[in-house]
Chain A
Amino acid sequence: MAKNDLQGALDLLILKSLSQLGSMHGFGIILHIERVSDELLNVEEGSLYPALHRMEQSGWVRSEWAMTESSRKAKFYTVTAAGEKQLAAREKNWEQVVKGVQAILRFA
């Protein structure tokens, strides 16, 4: 699969995570994805932060500094309305891709 589609997948994961849990910092997103996917999906920091900053530039997420539960200052990301729209489109697209791939795999 082309690189763009993988990146699209990462964006989808990040947007979905943020949409589910409200606001999160980068490390939280990584942990969340790992935990929810039963460690099947592993997001690298090297991909995460550029993706977060890119999405912020596109206006899909916004960020602010806030306190974590352990009273540490961290940058928290939240999905914007544009981000929600983007998420819906990507979710739909992803389902199509999955359906298509499954159809191929199940072809006998």
Chain B
Amino acid sequence: MGIFRRILALGKRSELDRENEDELRDHVQMRTEANLAKGMSLEQAARAARLRFGNPTVLKERVGAEDAALNLESLFRDVRYALRGFSRSPGFTTVAILTLALGIGANTAVFQLLDAVRLRSLPIQKPEELAELRIVGGNRGIGITDSAYANFTIPMWQEIRLHHDPFSGVFAWRQADMAVGPPNEEKHVNGLEVSREFFNVLGVLPLQGRLIEPQDEGGCELSKVVASYPFWKTQMGGQPITPSTTILVEGHAVQVLGVTPPSFFGVVVGDRFDLAYPTCTPPNPRREAFNFSVMGRLKPGWDMDRASGYFNSLSPGVFESSAPTNYSPETIKTFKSFRLAAYPAGAGVSRLRDAYDSSLQLLLAITGLVLLIACANLANLMLARATARQREMAIRMALGASRRRMLRQLLIESSLLAISGASLGIALAQPLSRLLVASLGTSQYSIHLAISTDWRVLLFAAVVAALTCVIFGTVPAMRGANADPIASLKSGERGVIGSRERFSIQRLMVIMQIAVSMVLLVGALLFVRSYRNLMTLNLGMRENGITIAYFGFPALNIKPENQAEFKRQLMNDVRSIPGIQDAAATTNIPMSGTTWGHEVHVGAIEGGSRFTYADPHYFSTMGIPLLTGRAFTDADTNSSQFVLIVNQAFLRKYLSTTQPLGQLVHVMPEPHYPERTYQIIGTIPDTRYSEMREDSQPIAYVPAAQLPLDAQDPRVSAMIATSIGPDAIVALRHNIEAKYPNMSLQFFDFQQEIRDGLVGDRMMAMLSGFFGVLAALLVAVGLYGVLSYFITRRRNEIGIRIALGAKRGQVIALIMRDTAAMLLVGIVLGTGLALLAGRAATAMLFGLKAYDLATLAFAIVLLAFIAVLASWLPALKASNLDPVAALRSE
């Protein structure tokens, strides 16, 4: 029979088996017949033939073993055998596969997210050539910065556009909010303002129509847009683009030029643009507004270093010619000393990357540890199982099965577990990643990440699965294969091979699990407590029942000199709504991350301070008490004495020795803000300004009515305190819409906004908590398993002890002592590891040190509780042992 036939016959094992059996049986019969012919009796002939032939099973095995194709064949048989074995112990199988699936699933999910956020390149041509230009060290707080990605003002961009030798092409872009749709039903979408070169340099080709081209940059009236694929599909119905396709943007019909391909989301990872439109250069661009990000594509032969060198030498010219006016000479000098450098941007830019990189890496480490515990648990389970099956192995080996075959059988079993666990884990990874992404989104900001299972992720999962398989598959197999069949058979169920040693390996693994879960529990507790600290942090102001409101009225065309009065009137209207306790206009929404600073001179001390322009109701609305002096009144206007209220940090920095009231503060000039002298009229306690993690900064409050005319803006940001919640805001919206139909309105809950700012902390608290609990559960399972095994092994000894009069309590103590020993070693080890690991997390914690005694103590107590819980049942079982039955089974 040829090898091909055998391969073809795969899966028809019985047929092949029968063939071999037939051949051997025929042989015996022929021999019997020959013996008969020699004159033996039938019985004698058959007996002699069988004796000569030897053990038919052994021969069958040996004949089969010679067959190379049969190896494949027996693989099927071994797989079937393994599956039968698994179906006989569903508990073991379920726990094993679930443990693996959770471990691998969690790892893959976090890896996928990490990959999407920081490893993957933009879906453009040759992403490695893409470079972003930035000012080395940022703009040092000069001017107004539009967003985290905005590095340049329009004059700077124009200079760079003229000189970009290292780049074959260069473009500028910025993100901007756009209102789309008919009035009163407008939807806010993500706009992307791009220079004419944008799509060309990126190498993005249109899916429909055409994209923005050089001739589109021109007038500042918005007239043409390019839609993203998701926007085109969902908001425009996916209709073909024709020259007459238009949509309503901010009340005007705008031509849609084309659609970008589905994979293109812009250059910000985690964001998605809806509409892109060409930028324009106003005749008198603001020289202090940092709005744009600039990127370029490296020419062949240039690298980042060489390009940086070029731009570094170009810098003096760029910043000399683009310097803003009206700043103090000091500030202008700083501005002119800026230096440019090129940074790789092939993977796009990302707020997520900056915010969550270290969190995600830590999370990956955490899930890795969980997988480690899961593996240790599985290894323990396999060891226990191998022990229980020693008799079976011994019999099979006595019957002639080779060690290699036994080892292979065990490997197949563990591979099967690993493959099922990994497949389930990969399947689990998708929803887990989505959950992770969702947990990073906030009520205002949703994240769009292409989470995909690409070859890298699959490779990652496969490596994890293979390693797991090798670790917990071969260890028991090696030990099982070393078994001496005779000794195993003799010693019955108890097994004899290296039982001490094997038991100590199991103990070692439990100790390891305790140590690692100690690390995870400490981490979880730290993150949960840190999150709690942030949640309960006293901001120094009222949080609940506060609504943030934005009123925009550029459409009302109110002259700058009348705006202060209009705003005062508007706020009076707001305050007159029933249910609204108080309301205050302000230039800075607290805790929103935005800051406003001026350079100040107080006496001989020069420095900076945060500034907030707020109306007289601000302190009462926000529940901030006045410590000394007076509050603002409506009499504080641009025509009266300029006044200030400062916080304690301001006093500590500038007026630590003198009585503050009546002191003068000189505020240095900058665009729209002339040099002025303010008098301190009151003091307040420290409050948080823009971020929770930031210590109290010097803050100065100025009456909103004293905002310079130049700086007046046709919009009002306000804090509104309500007693009846959302109903008051609904009434307010109706009222304002009726009175000012052209005013744009936006409302956000202050507390919700603050919580949104803690989304990263929430994620770490939630996930580390989840994994901590998972680790503790795994430890419980592991301990329970080992102790149960331990008791089975010592049945006789315990039986004798009970027969000799040992009390229940003594037997329980015997088991518990064992737990205590493992727990102690595990905890000592775990504490050391936790202290080491804590260092990595310190930067992410708030109001806590990584070596927090209370946290350590709590983790220890928790683990001890779990250990006692897990060992109580086996101990109880041991104490209830019937000594007669235990001894008889020997």
Chain A residues with CB under 8 Å of chain B are 25-27, 31, 44-46, 49-51, 53-54, 56-57, 62-64, 68, 70, 72-75
Given A54-B66, A72-B26, 14 extra CB contacts under 8 A:
A27-B34, A44-B54, A45-B27, A45-B53, A46-B54, A46-B58, A46-B62, A49-B23, A51-B66, A57-B66, A57-B67, A57-B69, A73-B22, A74-B26
Contacts of A53 in B (CB 8 A): 63, 66-67
Contact code string B23-42 (vs A, CB < 8 Å = 1, else 0): 11011011101100000000
Q: How far is the CA of A50 from the CA of B60 in the complex (A)?
A: 9
Closest B residue to A27 by beta carbon equals: B30
Q: Which of A45, A62, A70 has the most CB of B within 10 A?
A: A45
What residues of A have a CB within 8 angstroms of the CB of B62 in the complex? 46, 49-50
Whether A50 contacts B26 in the complex (CB less than 8 A), given A45-B59, A56-B1, comes out as: no
In the complex, the chain B residue whose C-beta lies closest to that of A47 is B62
- B888 CB-CB contact with A under 8 Å: no
Across chains A and B, the number of contacting residue pairs, with CB separation under 8 Å, is 64
Interchain CA distance A57-B33 in the complex, whole Å: 30
B739 within 8 A of A: no
CA distance A72 to B32 in the complex (A): 14
A70 to B36, CA, bound (A): 14
Partner of A31, one of B1, B23, B34, B52: B34
B3 contacts the other chain (CB 8 A): yes
Which of B2, B30, B58, B69 is close to A74, meaning CB atoms less than 8 Å apart?
A: B30
Q: Are B67 and A46 in contact (CB under 8 A)?
A: no
Q: Is B806 an interface residue (CB 8 A)?
A: no
**A-B pairs with beta carbons under 8 Å apart, 28 shown:** A25-B26, A25-B27, A27-B31, A27-B34, A31-B34, A45-B24, A45-B27, A45-B53, A45-B54, A45-B59, A46-B59, A49-B23, A49-B24, A49-B27, A49-B63, A50-B62, A50-B63, A50-B65, A53-B66, A57-B69, A62-B2, A64-B1, A68-B30, A70-B33, A73-B22, A75-B19, A75-B22, A75-B23
CB distance from A64 to the nearest CB of B (A): 8
Residues in A with CB closer than 8 Å to B505 are none
Chain B residues near A49 (CB-CB < 8 A): 23-24, 27, 59, 62-63
Closest to B55 in A: A46
Least CB distance, A29 to chain B, in whole angstroms: 10
- Give the residue name and chain of the B residue nearest to A58 (CB): B68
Cβ B1 vs Cβ A63 within 8 A: yes
Give complex CA distance A53, B71 in Å: 13
Closest residue of chain B to A62 (Cβ to Cβ) is B2
Most central of A31, A49, A57, A63 by chain B CB within 10 Å: A49
Q: In the complex the two chains form, what is the Cα distance from A73 to B24 in whole Å?
A: 12
Closest to A45 in B: B53
Q: When chains A and B are docked, how far (Å) is the Cα of A25 from the Cα of B27? A: 9
Q: Which residues of B contact A62 (CB under 8 A)?
A: 1-2
Whole-angstrom CA separation of A57 from B3 in the bound complex:
7
Closest A residue to B2 by beta carbon equals A62
Distance A46 CA – B63 CA, assembled complex (angstroms) = 9
Closest chain B residue to A48 by CB distance? Answer: B27
Shortest CB-to-CB span from B59 to chain A, Å, is 6
Please measure, in the bound complex, the distance between the C-alpha atom of A63 and the C-alpha atom of B66, giving whole angstroms: 15
> Chain A: which residue is nearest B58 at the CB level?
A46
A49 to B19, CA, bound (A): 13
Q: Give A75 to B3 CA distance when docked, in angstroms.
A: 16
Chain A positions within 8 Å of B65 at CB level: 50
Q: In the assembled complex, which residues on chain A have CB atoms less than 8 Å from the CB atom of B54?
A: 44-46
Distance between A33 CB and nearest chain B CB, rounded to angstroms: 14
Shortest CB-to-CB span from A30 to chain B, Å, is 8
Enumerate chain B residues within 8 angstroms of A51, measured Cβ to Cβ.
Answer: 66
Smallest beta-carbon distance A47→chain B, Å: 9
Residues of chain B within 8 A (CB-CB) of A26 are 23, 27
Closest-by-CB residue of B relative to A31 is B34
The CA of A54 and the CA of B64, in the complex, are separated in Å by: 9
Q: Which residues of A contact B30 (CB under 8 A)?
A: 25, 27, 68, 72, 74
Residue of A whose beta carbon sits closest to that of B61: A50
Give the docked Cα–Cα distance between A31 and B37 (Å).
Answer: 14
Contacts of B24 in A (CB 8 A): 45, 49
Which 6 pairs from chain A and chain B are nearest by CB? A53-B66, A27-B30, A54-B66, A75-B23, A50-B62, A50-B66
Closest CB in chain A relative to B420 CB, distance in Å: 33
Nearest-neighbour CB distance to chain A for B58, whole angstroms, equals: 8
Report B-chain residues with C-beta under 8 Å of the C-beta of A25: 26-27, 30
B66 cross-chain contacts in A, Cβ below 8 A: 50-51, 53-54, 57
**B58 CB contacts on chain A under 8 angstroms:** 46
Chain A residues whose CB sits within 8 angstroms of the CB of B31 once the complex forms: 27
List the B side residues contacting A46 at CB < 8 Å.
53-54, 58-59, 62
In the complex, how many angstroms separate the beta carbon of B28 from the nearest chain A beta carbon?
A: 9
Query: When chains A and B are docked, how far (Å) is the Cα of A5 from the Cα of B23?
Result: 27
A26 and chain B: residue at smallest CB distance: B27
Known contacts: A46-B62, A57-B3, A62-B2. The answer to whether A75 contacts B68 by CB under 8 A is no
Complex Cα distance A67/B602, Å? 117
Are A57 and B63 in contact, CB atoms less than 8 angstroms apart? Answer: no
The interface residues of chain A lying within 8 Å CB-to-CB of B22 are 73, 75
Give the interface centre of B1, B3, B68 by most chain A CB atoms within 10 Å.
B1
- A74–B23 touching, CB < 8 Å: yes
Q: How far is the CA of A57 from the CA of B66 in the complex (A)?
A: 8
- Which of B733-754 touch A at CB < 8 Å? none
B464–chain A nearest beta-carbon distance, Å: 37
| Interface hits, B769-816 → A, CB 8 Å | none
Q: A31–B67 Cα gap in the complex (Å)?
A: 25
A57 to B64, CA, bound (A): 11
CA distance A64 to B53 in the complex (A): 22
Task: Please encode chain B, from 343 to 373, with 1 for each CB lying within 8 Å of some chain A CB and 0 for all others.
Answer: 0000000000000000000000000000000
Asked if residues B52 and A57 are in contact (CB atoms below 8 Å), the reply is no
Q: Are A45 and B52 in contact (CB under 8 A)?
A: yes
Residues of B with C-beta under 8 A to A50:
59, 62-63, 65-66
How many angstroms from the CA of A62 to the CA of B5 in the assembled complex?
12
Q: How far is the CB of B274 from chain A (nearest CB, A)?
A: 66
Task: Name which residue of chain B comes closest to A28, CB basis.
Answer: B30
Contacting residues, chain A, for B26 (C-beta < 8 A): 25, 27, 72-75
Q: Which of A31, A50, A62, A68 is packed against the most chain B CB atoms within 10 Å?
A: A50
Bound together, the chains give a CA A46 to CA B27 distance in angstroms of 12
Q: How far is the CA of A73 from the CA of B22 in the complex (A)?
A: 9
Q: Which of B2, B27, B67, B69 meets A27, CB within 8 Å?
A: B27
